Chain A
Amino acid sequence: MATSRTVKVRVNGVDHEATVEARKTLVDFLREDLGLTGTNVGCEHGVCGACTILMNGETVRSCIMLAVQADGAELMTVEGLAQPGGELHPIQESFRDKHGLQCGFCTPGFLMTTYELLSKHPHADEEEIKEWLSGNLCRCTGYQDILESVKLAATRLRNP
């Protein structure tokens, strides 16, 4: 039967310690054990990117990682983007302003991917942006407006 382990993680600046089954995926842990349901599950096999979160500043697919693999890590999910007062992060604002979403289900994954991209490459050009976003599927929006959202976010982050 499944074995359990203790996992310590810091998520969006808050420390958590929990006992989880070793086989539990990271996204199930975040959604079910920590109640952070902002991260969505689209495929559960690492292709769609909907479950993308940041682990120690780098994007990972939380559906194909186990919670125990995140032990000791610093995680960030979509819930960690906006200011505590509710003010939207410039990336969130840009997606809203450029119509970079329709149903919004893929959006947390795109936002987190964009976050890593723009923190590492604030001057990313169109080709780089496309390369980075190519691992995230969106069925509604058709990518063009998402690309424009990321470009706007890059500009806003460079000139706050």
Chain B
Amino acid sequence: MAAAEPKLPEQLPVTQPRHVGKDSPRMEDPLMVTGKVEYGNDIRAPGMLHAAILRSPHAHALIKSIDASRAEKLPGVAAVLTGKEVKSWSRPVFGVPEGWTGYALAVEKTHWVGEPVAVIAATDRYIAEDALELIEVEYEPLETVADALKAVTGEGPYVLEGKQSNVAYDRKFSFGDVPGSFAAADVIVRERFRWHRSSGNPIETCVCIADWNPVTGMLTLRGSHRSPHLILPALVISLGVSSQQVRIIQSPLGGSFGVKTFARYVILISLMAKKLKGRAVKWTEDRIEHLIGSSTHAWDRHYECALALKQDGTVTGMKMELIDDLGAFSEWLAIGMLLKPLLCLGSCYRIPNVEYACKGLVTNKTPQGPLRAFGLPPHFWVLEQLLDVAAKKLGLERNEIRRRNFIKKEEFPYVSPSGNVYDSGDYEGSLKLLLEKSGYDRLLKEQEKARSEGRLVGLGVVSSIEPGLTGPPMLALAAPRIFSRTSSPEGILVRIDGFGKLIAELGFPPGGQSQHSFVRQILADYFGVELEDVQVITVDSLSMQPSTGPISSSMAIALTGAVLGAAARLADKLKRVAAVMLEARADDIELLDGQFRVRGVPGKTLAAAQVSQFMMARPDLLPEGIDGNPEATYVWNPPDRTIPDERGFGRYSVTAAGAQHLCMVEVDRATGQVKILKYVMVDDCGVRLNPSVVRGMLMGGMAHGVGAALLEEYVYDENGQMLTSSYMDYLLPTIMEVPAAEEHEMCTPSPIAPLGVKGVGEGALHTTPAAVLCAVNDALEPLGIRITEAPMSPLRVWKALQGASR
């Protein structure tokens, strides 16, 4: 059988890795810099129609009637789809816990501003949009609930038909002796926090092209779909189609950050295609639709927290209670974002007794959807802020309190109170490196000087972990029937042709993560060829191996495992053929630097190309069990994961990357504007397959984190109208707000994951908000004020400044 998986790059069958672990040009770039990459919206099919969606102007209203007859008569309009057909042709969109979602289109009533009410297909997008204006809908507005704290009271109005509550999920987890730890504490720190909703906002919006052939029954989907393994089951459940009749052809993505994992619009456009009977229809979301209606918002949270500490700063207990406003439906996997903190309740710290109570509420706001980092950034911010407050109270330096609580280097693998395992790390070493590299002592002096001049300068130094490769086990807590799985498979096919060139087929498309490039690096080293000798492509959902794709900082881990497994299987096959050619025992053949040779017999070597040629040319000479096909597939699965028990105790993830960030800010007293003066990070994501790609992930995550901390917010009025429906008022960070950060590497290779890698895809978004927000509060400290809401937008900071006694 295949050789053991290499745990480090040095164990690859090559004297010296030439590509793995080094910066390597990206395979994806030439198409992208020339404008030749075909994104979803670039696709045109013969006779293709264009869809536009009519959306609800009310947060909560009964649909009394819809009259589309004028729209249908407009020249160019092919069809109008309304709730009646959607209800008869489909079931509600899948979501957990089950029973808390609605149809892909509003049927009897609308639940949020932006909910689809009708879809039009026409020969041209302009005509489709003209026709939207001709649809007459009679609404009867209902009382709205746009505030989770109101929704939780148990009084109406109720968002979902047939429900007598707005509480979709309510669960308390408790590990250790929490009451005991609080009773015995020397100091208790209590605080409330509020994290407002924002989202991923990839620069490319969502695109779906559906074509439903009435003759074959085949539904073909193209566009910016990210996860066929998630979209397909949703289609099967909601549309009642059979799985082998759905073909998803994935285009390169102009970013996703989780938001293109979702299936609501895919179901909707598929239903429109069903109505069109054989004509393809394309829908390209516009930005306003993305902002108000896309089910891509995330993390709308109210926290109540407490830390119990000893006089020396040791944290003995933590209580965290949170209410998350899920929006109109508990759709798809959104609830998982409430559960993910279970993987790392104490972050980098040893906190033995923890209580975590979480409620998911439905309200008349846009539903939430998956977002990069899946709910952890608020968790880490809250915890880091509590530590800062506790340090002040105890008269400890901010880093000292952290050092006293860090999980120590020798304690890995560390089993957290909830049973999750952190594979490796050196948090204290990382912090030391961070403080050295950033010149921390000098920064403190600068801050002191600035303060003496009356300037508001602050520092934040925070830590976090990034659980790599999470997934089903935590969802088992919300939907055990569906998610009691430990798998999140990643499969690949690798073949070698008669010229010795390698081809790899992946199940998910480029979207910024550079996976084609690192698969190429690994294969080039494995078979001792040049980068140019390796081709990597994405295949459609009917051709691909089981694949999960870039979810939950899993990609590099799982895909590396898949490539190594397939390469080993292929090499094994080739070895047995080489044994025939070299007249040796298969066990004596080894692959090194792309040559098959008899161990200990110098001079007897064969290039991989010679072996594959022979394999295809002389099947009659091959040993039993070896066919004439030089290819192999492999599906990698995370090892050692468990399904959580009824207490929520389980092994949820595979790796735990660590990060320590330092941020220095200055707050403008007059305007409330926050300027980041310095940003330094140390990241330990184990072995870096391609350092510049890792750095890119971290820098991009940091930029997103700066936005989440200081700018980005979906604001609603009390009637559930969204006030931030364009980029004029939903502010994304530009080059002016995002600092030039320094990044330093700490490496504790994962002892579990292939090649020692750990997840890094969610990147600095875990840590940056905490660093920035803690720094702002440090800056405001001389004024005796502290902000406990994120984002700390200019307006929010300015208001806090106005309230400060001067």
**Contacts A96-B30, A104-B29 given; does A138 touch B693 at CB 8 Å:** no
CB contact between A96 and one of B25, B200, B287, B699 (< 8 Å): that residue: B25
| B29:A134 contact, CB within 8 angstroms | no
Bound form: Cα–Cα A141–B701 in Å: 8
Q: Mark A40-76, 1 if CB is under 8 A from B, else 0.
A: 1111110110100000000000000000000000000
Bound form: Cα–Cα A146–B726 in Å: 25
* B33 proximal to A (CB < 8 A): yes
* A154 proximal to B (CB < 8 A): no
Would you call the interface of chain B mostly helix, strand, loop, or mixed? loop
* A124 proximal to B (CB < 8 A): no
* A102 proximal to B (CB < 8 A): yes
* A155 proximal to B (CB < 8 A): no
Bound form: Cα–Cα A47–B203 in Å: 11
* B512 proximal to A (CB < 8 A): yes
| B696:A43 contact, CB within 8 angstroms | no
* A101 proximal to B (CB < 8 A): yes
| A134:B734 contact, CB within 8 angstroms | yes
| A103:B254 contact, CB within 8 angstroms | yes
| A23:B205 contact, CB within 8 angstroms | no
User: Which residues of B28-62 have CB atoms within 8 Å of chain A's CB atoms?
Assistant: 28-39, 41-42
**Contacts A99-B696, A130-B735 given; does A38 touch B35 at CB 8 Å:** yes
| A39:B255 contact, CB within 8 angstroms | no
Question: Chain A nearest CB: distance from B608 CB in Å?
Answer: 29
| A143:B512 contact, CB within 8 angstroms | no
* A15 proximal to B (CB < 8 A): no
Q: Which residue of B lies closest to A131 (CB)?
A: B736
Question: Chain A nearest CB: distance from B120 CB in Å?
Answer: 17
Bound form: Cα–Cα A101–B727 in Å: 22
Bound form: Cα–Cα A144–B202 in Å: 18
Q: Mark A70-91, 1 if CB is under 8 A from B, else 0.
A: 0000000111011000001000
| B740:A88 contact, CB within 8 angstroms | no
User: Which residues of B710-743 have CB atoms within 8 Å of chain A's CB atoms?
Assistant: 726-728, 732, 734-736, 738, 740-741
CB contact between A104 and one of B37, B200, B703, B734 (< 8 Å): that residue: B37
Name the A residues within 8 Å of B512 (CB-CB).
102-104, 140
User: Which residues of B213-229 have CB atoms within 8 Å of chain A's CB atoms?
Assistant: none
Name the A residues within 8 Å of B735 (CB-CB).
130, 133-134, 136, 143, 146-147
**Contacts A40-B39, A40-B203 given; does A103 touch B34 at CB 8 Å:** no
Please tell me the number of chain B residues within 8 Å of chain A, measured between CB atoms. Answer: 57
Q: Mark B122-150, 1 if CB is under 8 A from A, else 0.
A: 00011000000000000000000000000
* B788 proximal to A (CB < 8 A): no
What's the interface size class on A, roughly? 35 or more
| B202:A105 contact, CB within 8 angstroms | yes
Bound form: Cα–Cα A106–B252 in Å: 13
| B740:A144 contact, CB within 8 angstroms | yes
Name the B residues within 8 Å of A31 (CB-CB).
41-42
| A107:B700 contact, CB within 8 angstroms | no
Q: Mark A141-155, 1 if CB is under 8 A from B, else 0.
A: 111111100000000
Bound form: Cα–Cα A35–B202 in Å: 24
| A103:B510 contact, CB within 8 angstroms | yes
| B34:A88 contact, CB within 8 angstroms | yes
Q: Which residue of B lies closest to A48 (CB)?
A: B203
Q: Which residue of A lies closest to B734 (CB)?
A: A134
Bound form: Cα–Cα A144–B25 in Å: 18
| A103:B33 contact, CB within 8 angstroms | no
User: Which residues of B737-755 have CB atoms within 8 Å of chain A's CB atoms?
Assistant: 738, 740-741
| A82:B34 contact, CB within 8 angstroms | yes
**Contacts A37-B35, A142-B738 given; does A42 touch B126 at CB 8 Å:** no
Name the A residues within 8 Å of B693 (CB-CB).
99
| B732:A139 contact, CB within 8 angstroms | yes
**Contacts A37-B35, A47-B727, A82-B34 given; does A96 touch B204 at CB 8 Å:** no
| A139:B33 contact, CB within 8 angstroms | no
Further contacts, 8 of them, CB under 8 A, given A40-B41, A44-B286, A145-B699: A37-B41, A40-B204, A103-B202, A105-B202, A111-B33, A137-B732, A137-B734, A143-B735
23 pairs, CB–CB < 8 Å, chain A vs chain B: A31-B41, A36-B35, A40-B254, A42-B203, A43-B287, A44-B287, A48-B727, A78-B34, A82-B34, A95-B33, A96-B33, A97-B25, A99-B26, A102-B514, A103-B253, A104-B28, A104-B33, A105-B255, A139-B202, A140-B700, A142-B704, A143-B738, A144-B741
Query: Which 6 A-B residue pairs are closest in the complex by CB-CB distance?
Result: A38-B35, A105-B254, A104-B32, A142-B699, A102-B512, A103-B512
